Amino acid sequence: MSGRVSQLGSRLASFAFLALASCTSVSDSTDDTMGDTDADTDSDTDSEPDTDTDSASDTGFHPDPSCNYTLLDQFVVDCGGTWVSAVGFEDLNGDPACPPYFQLNGTDHPTMAEALNANGCDDFCVYLPFVSVMFLHCDTRAEFFEYRDGGPDQSTPTGTCDPMLYFWSAFGSGWYPSLAAFLEDNPCPET
């Protein structure tokens, strides 16, 4: 499993930061205009048609817009070797006419299993944020988030997958299997 942890890239790091900061998924939290100066404009100076990158492909499932959905939980899954975020929503009022649903890669699905299957994602480890820890490293504030398996529709028993830790600090950020591994890779500078 430690090999899988080392494969985690900046996309999941972006997810962790953006999801915690704004409670949205990666697919909905990135700015349409990044790298595309004419996105969502009516400019006729380009040769490519403008496309709405926020619209999800049609999966046949559409949550009822009259429901009062709120973010239920955030998940991290492996989709073809790339770690991506998924989010679950449920009706704030618990209305039975407004069932929970999941969003993965910008598409909505009635179950996590359907979201994973439709996106070619592995159901072996469905990670949930577990705990956030702030600490001092080299007299500077640092933080890590621990993710543990056991999310919805995970095919293996909870506890099968090793926890994953994402660190943010002035000395280094990224995925590590443990605090000791982070500290070893990011020693304090000699004074």
* Alpha-carbon span 84 to 43, nearest angstrom: 32
The encoded tokens of residue 165 equal 């830790």
- What pLDDT digit, counting tens, does each position of 116-125 carry? 999 999 999 9
SS3 188: coil
Q: How far is 123 from 136, CA to CA, in rounded Å? A: 36
- CB of 12 closer than 8 Å to CB of 166: yes
Condensed to tens digits (0 to 9), the pLDDT of residues 112-161 reads: 999 999 999 999 999 999 999 999 999 999 999 999 999 999 999 999 99
Which tens digits make up the pLDDT trace of 72-111?
899 999 998 888 889 999 999 999 999 999 999 999 999 9
The residue type at 16: A
Average pLDDT, the chain: 75
SS3 182: helix
Contact by Cβ (8 Å): 132, 139 = no
Residues 171 and 107: their CA atoms lie apart, in Å, by 36
Strand partners, 127: 76, 149
Q: SS3 of 144, please?
A: strand
